[in-house]
Amino acid sequence: MTPRTPTQRIVIVGAGVAGSIMARALARQAGLEVTCLEQVAPDDHASAGLVIGPNAIKALHLRDPLLASAIGEAGLPWDHWRVSLCSGEVLLDLPLTRVADHGGVRILRATLYRVLRGAAAGTIRYRCKLLECGASPQDPARSYVVWEQDGRQCRLDDIDLLIAADGRDSPIRSAFGGQPEVHQVGALLLRLLVPDAGAGRIDDYEQWCNGPNRLLAFRLPHGQINIAGSLPLRPDNATPHVGIGPQALRAAYTPTHARPGPQAGWLIDTLCANVDAICWYRMQAPGIRFAEPRAQVMYLGDSAHAMAPPLGQGVAQAIEDACSAAELIATSLAGGETSPRAWLATFEAARLERLRFVMSVAPHAAGLMLGGATEQERASALAALRQLYCQVALPRHGVGPGAGTGLPA
C-alpha cells in the first residue's frame, strides 16, 4: 500500500480579488483542507468602477480560462487608452493591441466580486471576521486564527499555510510583521460613480491632464460612468480633502489659458454638482512582502504590495499573485513537493522580480502624459507597457535554469 500524503491545512483570510481566486483553485486540489474566511456578506461591497489590465486577463486565461471568460462577459472591453489635456488637445491615442496581446476589462467592483465569489461558492465562509492570528505556540512555522461568526468566537490551530488576502490594511501583516512601513505617494485620489448623463461623451478609458492634476473616466455596463481624479498632496497634510469644494475642483481642472474641452468640461461640472458624493483616498504604498521568513504565511494582493491605479494594476497584480500561487502549489503537489516553506520560497522569488518591474513602469508611463516627451521617451514608455501587459509568467516548481521564474528552461 502506498503511504498516504498528509493533508495540508490552508486558511485564506479575505475573499476579495486574490482570496476568491485562491479559494476556488485550492478547493479543487487533492491533499488540501481549505477554509476561506470573509468578514462581509456575499454581496456587501461599495460600488466603484475598475479597469483590469490585459496582463491579469492573460494570467487568468492561462490558469483558469472559464473564470477569465466569466469576468470578460460581466464587464466591457478595455481596448483603448487616450490621454488629453483638459483643453481637449490629444497627447496619446493608443489602441491597447499596440502594447498588449488583447484588451483588458472595465467592470463594477461589486460585479467582479460577485463573479469571483460565485466561482468559489462552498469554500468561502461569509460574515467571518478575523480577530486574532499568530504563530502556534507548539510550532512557530504553523499558525492559528481566531474569528467571529454569528456572535461566537471560533478558532483553528495547526495551520500549515496561512494566506493573507485581506486587503491593504491587512490585519495578518500587522499581526506577524508589525505595522508595515507605509510610504505616502504624495497624491490625493477622488472617485465618483454617476449615471451616464453625458450624451455618450465618455466611453473607453481616458485621462485628462491639467499640469499635475489628472482626471480619468470610463463607461461601465448599465450606463454608469466611473470618474477618478488625482491632485498632488503634501505628505504631512493630515486632512487633505477638507475644504475641496466645487470652486477648488473647478480651478484644479480648468486650464489657465483655454476653455475645458467638451469631455473635461462635462467631468468638471459633474464633479462640482456631486461634490458630497465624492470618495477621497490617499495614495500610499507599504513595503513589498510576499512571505514571512519563519511562519508559513503568504501575502497576496494589496496585503503584499500597493499599486498606482492609473495602469490598472491593483486588481491585476492581485490576480497575477493568486494565479502564480495557485499554479505553483498545484505543480508542486503534482511533483511531490508538499512543504509550504518550499512553496513560499519559490513564490516569493518569482513574484518579487515581477513586482519590482511593474512598479518601475509607472514613471515611464507618466512620460506619455507629458506634452513635451521626446520620441525616445515615448518609445521607452511603450516598450515598458508591452512588457507589463504581455510578459506574464506563472511560476513552476522544479530544478533547472527556468525553475521559479515560469520562463522556459
Ligand X SMILES: Cc1cc2nc3c(=O)[nH]c(=O)nc-3n(C[C@H](O)[C@H](O)[C@H](O)COP(=O)(O)OP(=O)(O)OC[C@H]3O[C@@H](n4cnc5c(N)ncnc54)[C@H](O)[C@@H]3O)c2cc1C
Interface with ligand X (CB under 6 A): 13-19, 37-40, 48, 50-51, 129-130, 165-167, 171, 191, 281, 301-303, 307, 309, 312-316, 318
Q: How far is the CB of 301 from ligand X (least distance, A)?
A: 2
Closer residue to ligand X in complex, CB, 206/397: 206
Q: How far is the CB of 210 from ligand X (least distance, A)?
A: 21
Closer residue to ligand X in complex, CB, 319/384: 319
Q: How far is the CB of 16 from ligand X (least distance, A)?
A: 2
Q: How far is the CB of 344 from ligand X (least distance, A)?
A: 18
Closer residue to ligand X in complex, CB, 72/255: 72
Q: How far is the CB of 398 from ligand X (least distance, A)?
A: 28
CA distance 173 to 225: 34
Closer residue to ligand X in complex, CB, 17/384: 17
Q: How far is the CB of 114 from ligand X (least distance, A)?
A: 12
Q: How far is the CB of 190 from ligand X (least distance, A)?
A: 9
Closer residue to ligand X in complex, CB, 55/210: 55
CB atoms under 10 Å from CB of 152, counted, come to 7
Q: How far is the CB of 125 from ligand X (least distance, A)?
A: 9
Q: How far is the CB of 62 from ligand X (least distance, A)?
A: 19
Closer residue to ligand X in complex, CB, 216/333: 216
Closer residue to ligand X in complex, CB, 87/144: 144
Half-sphere exposure for 392 (CA within 13 Å, toward CB): 26
CA distance 20 to 15: 5
Residue nearest ligand X, Cβ-based: 16
Closer residue to ligand X in complex, CB, 180/309: 309
Closer residue to ligand X in complex, CB, 54/312: 312
Q: How far is the CB of 298 from ligand X (least distance, A)?
A: 12
Closer residue to ligand X in complex, CB, 60/316: 316
> Per residue, what are the HEC states of the chain?
CCCCCCCEEEEEECCCHHHHHHHHHHHCCCCEEEEEECCCCCCCCCCCEEEECHHHHHHHHHHCHHHHHHHHHHCEEECEEEEEECCCCEEEEEEHHHCCCCCEEEEEHHHHHHHHHHHCCCCEECCEEEEEEEECCCCCCCEEEEEEECCEEEEEEEECEEEECCCCCCHHHHHHHCCCCEEEEEEEEEEEEEECCCCCCCCCCEEEEECCEEEEEEEECCCEEEEEEEEECCCCCCCCCCCCCHHHHHHHHCCCCCCCCHHHHHHHHHHHHCHHHCEEEEEEEECCCCECCCCCEEECHHHCCCCCHHHCCHHHHHHHHHHHHHHHHHHHHHCCCCCHHHHHHHHHHHHHHHHHHHHHHHHHHHHCCCCCCCHHHHHHHHHHHHHHHHCCCCCCCCCCCCCCCCCCC
Cα 262 to chain centroid distance, Å, stands at: 31
